[in-house]
Structure 1
Amino acid sequence: MDFTIDPRTEEFRRRIADFVETRIMPLEQAPSAFDAHENISLDSLADLRAGSRAEGLWCLQLKPENGGQGLGRAGMAVCYEEMNRSIFGPVVFNAAAPDDGNMMVLEMAATPKQRERWLMPIVEGKVRSSFAMTEPHPGGGSDPSMMLTTAERRGDRYVVRGRKWFITGAAEAQHFILLARTSDDPRKGLTAFLFDRDQPGWRIDRRIPIMGPEEHGGHCELVFEGLEIPAENVLLEEGDGLKLTQMRLGPARLTHCMRWLGLSKRCVEIARTYAAERFAFGSRLSKRESIQMMLGDLAMKIEIGRLLVMKAAWELDRGGYAQKEVSMAKVHVANLLHQASDTAIQICGARGYSKDTVLEWIYRYARQARLVDGADEVHKMVLNRRLESEGAGFWRWQVAG
């Protein structure tokens, strides 16, 4: 088993690390760099995005013919972790959700004509995008079979009616991927569509207030009241919506984990620095066994997370689906991020709880990790199903050749 990375990936990692350290992280201490929803302001972002493009660090995840660098999932794991050393990092490199997952699935599933119309403007940074799947009760969430939003075919168009919510980035998005029901077939009843913000027949009902800082465009509730979508804007074929969802969500869950590992490492970094500088009861905090155990435990769990993520990335790169690998990584890293931010705040005391560091930002952000793209319990249930069907084969090694 080879755990080395190639020199090209290491060069990207090194350059990203330098860009994050010198260009992005200083803005975390500047109130003017934040927007009203605690993300980086669009003016500050525009300048940094221009810089990352100029240095060839833009859209590393896509193929060269689509404006990327063809880094592959394993290379992305290395680089995304480095990007999210800063709370602002991924979006600067056009590697943040939901654009990241949308670009990757459009690259895989869209026709050449659709890629030109819907993918390339996102790649070029001209527009943002959103993925509209989740619905309010009793509609579809982790279980897409419960989806209630419908798309009725009328000639060469589909008419969409229904409601979606917690749609990330919707308030800033121009391009949308929409999942809707086109039949009652349990496997082929859903279809994926592309639509533009400026089309009539839909609206944003509200931007849902949440506990933590928000992605650009927030998390919105959408209402569809007769949106008409041309048949040419169907992704794949009618009835392939579940397939499209699986193509998108697996890799997107994994890229979340890649980024969360970067934030987890940042928490440890801040806590270690504080523990090395802070004296209490006659000695540095870093010399106390209790602090050493807390930090050592986090270091171990971060490395476990990196191995789970890299195993899943390797499986995807070799053409596998990595369903159980992604689920294991998702559960572990989501919980790790919450523990890392909580432990770092505990070590830093009142300073960690204040806004003098980014720890409180990460802590509030971290709580969503155990919910987005499938709650912990759903992934554990999926893993148990695989265990039931595979038995001892659940842990089998892949044999070369």
Structure 2
Amino acid sequence: MDFALSPEADELRLRIRAYVEERIIPLEADPASYDEHENIARPLLETLRAEVKAKGLWALNMPQERGGGGQNMVTLAACYEEMNRSIFGPVVFHGAAPDDGNMRLLNMVGTEAQKERWLQPIIDGKVQSAFAMTEPDGCGSDPSMTYTRAERVGDRWRIYGRKHYITGAESAKHFILMARTGEDDRNGLTAFLFHADQPGWRIIRRIPIMGPEEHGGHCELEFDGLEVTDDDVLMKVGDGLRATQIRLGPARLTHCMRWTGMGRRALEIAMARIETRRAFGATLIEKESVQQLIGQAAMELDIGRLLTMRAAWLLDNGSLARKEISMAKVVVADALHKAVDTSLQLLGARGYSKDTPVEWMYRYARQARLVDGASEVHRMVLANFLRRHAKDFFNWGAGRG
């Protein structure tokens, strides 16, 4: 379990670091860089994406033959961390949710025809995608609670129900939709593909949220007879739960990869301030209480980085890494919040203001303990692993599924 990057991977990481440092971070201070939802403005995003493509840094998680970078999970962990040292970074490099997870799922399980129709335009950045699973009063962390239903009508499926908090839905063109096709919780869900221009569905509202928003927001959707053919069933009828599990495990881990980068940036902003700011006859960094705060936050963040890298290594070596991904998700979510909260505290009024991106990060960071499974759910998963495997929970091998 050697976490040292290959020379090629480290060179790639350093190229990303340089571009983020020199090109993207300076843009954060310009109000014109933002859209009305506090994300990077579309025209600027398209300019930067063209630059990234020209540098060969685009869609690192996708195969090279489809225009991506073809990198494994360990390399992605290091590179995604560097990307998210800027709040704009992941979407510029095409490494942001939900496209990142949707592309991975489609690439892993889609037919060749589905990859050409549904995946390739996402990889190329021509369309945005969304994953429609969560429901009002229905499934969230528990997909078995899905009540959106697909009924067989002739040679088609007709879909009825509601979804909410669907990230990017207002801007998305390609959707992956989870619906119930049977009563069995394990084999009664199916994943469907549909295009935004198809009739039979609508966006009820873009849900206002506490933090900055991804392009397309977080929306509530209604399905009132959306029709989908068998050609647009992802995997097989009844494989929806498997599709969800295939997507969500790595997607949770890529969240962790990005969050460690944001946490690092928050601490960097704080360090730049406390090393020069003087109070009561000394710089703040010389104060023991300040050292305790910054040291604790840095330690917790690095623990999260190590857990993230371990899970990435296990995925690359064929494990599902469910236990390790849950550990990383809980620890990194907490470490991100700790790092950003510590930075804001040390910056004082400057941190609470919009003079730095820390208040933006603070509002964003609170969602980390909720998205892709609340921390309490992941702790429950870990407890169940411990019950089943006892002493083997702490093994040093390739892990248990």
TM-score by length of 2: 0.98
Structure 2 counterparts to residues 57-76 of structure 1, below 5 A: 57-76=57-76
Question: Conserved in 1, the CA contact under 8 Å of 2:319 and 2:398?
Answer: no
Unaligned segments of structure 2, at least 5 residues: none
1:105-254 aligned within 5 A? 105-137=105-137, 139-254=138-253
1:26 corresponds in structure 2 to 26
CA-to-partner distance for each residue in 1:160-209, whole Å, 9 max, x for gaps?
00000000000000000000000001210000010000000000000000
The aligned runs of 1:1-400 (5 Å cut-off) are 1-137=1-137, 139-398=138-397
Structure 1 distance, partners of 2:173, 2:145, is 27
Q: For each residue in 1:104-162, what CA deviation from the matched residue of structure 2 results, as whole angstroms up to 9, or x when unmatched?
A: 0100010000000000000001000000000001x111111111000111222100000
- Secondary structure at 2:175's aligned position in 1? strand
The residue type equivalent to 2:218 in the other structure is H
TM-score, normalised to structure 1, is: 0.98
Query: 336-345 or 81-90: which moved more?
Result: 336-345
Farther-moved stretch of structure 1 (89-98 vs 299-308) = 299-308
CA positional deviation for 1:3: 2.4
Deviates most, 288-297 or 354-363: 288-297
Q: How many residues are treated as equivalent by the alignment?
A: 399
d(CA) in 1 for partners of 2:3, 2:187:
40
Please give the per-residue CA displacement for 1:47-103, whole angstroms capped at 9, x wherever unaligned.
Answer: 000000000000111121222121100000000000000000000000000000000
Q: Specify the SS of the correspondent of 1:171.
A: coil
**Which letter does structure 2 place at the counterpart of 1:230?**
T
Deviations 1:243-266 (A, max 9, x none): 000000000000000000000000
CA shift at 1:336, angstroms?
A: 0.9
Q: Which digits, 9 at most, give the CA deviation of each residue in 1:201-242, with x for residues without a partner?
A: 000000000000000000000000000011110000000000
Q: Over residues 297-346 of structure 1, what are the superposed CA-to-partner deviations in whole Å (9 max), with x where a residue is unaligned?
A: 11111111111001100110011100010000000001111111111010
Distance 1:347 1:239 in 2: 52
Q: Distance in 2 between matches of 1:143 and 1:70?
A: 32
The residue matched to 2:150 in structure 1 has which SS? strand
Return the letter of the residue paired with 1:31: P
Name the CA distance, whole Å, in 1 between partners of 2:156 and 2:67. Answer: 31
Aligned-partner SS, 1:161 = strand
Runs of 4+ in structure 1 over 3 Å off: none
Code of the aligned partner of 2:386 = L
- How far residue 4 of structure 1 moved from its aligned partner, in angstroms, is 1.0
3-state SS of the aligned residue for 1:237?
coil
Q: Distance in 2 between matches of 1:3 and 1:215?
A: 31
Q: Do the aligned partners of 2:61 and 2:69 also contact (CA within 8 Å) in 1?
A: yes
1:15-69 Cα offsets, whole Å, 9 max, x none, are 1011111111111000011000000000110000000000000011112122212
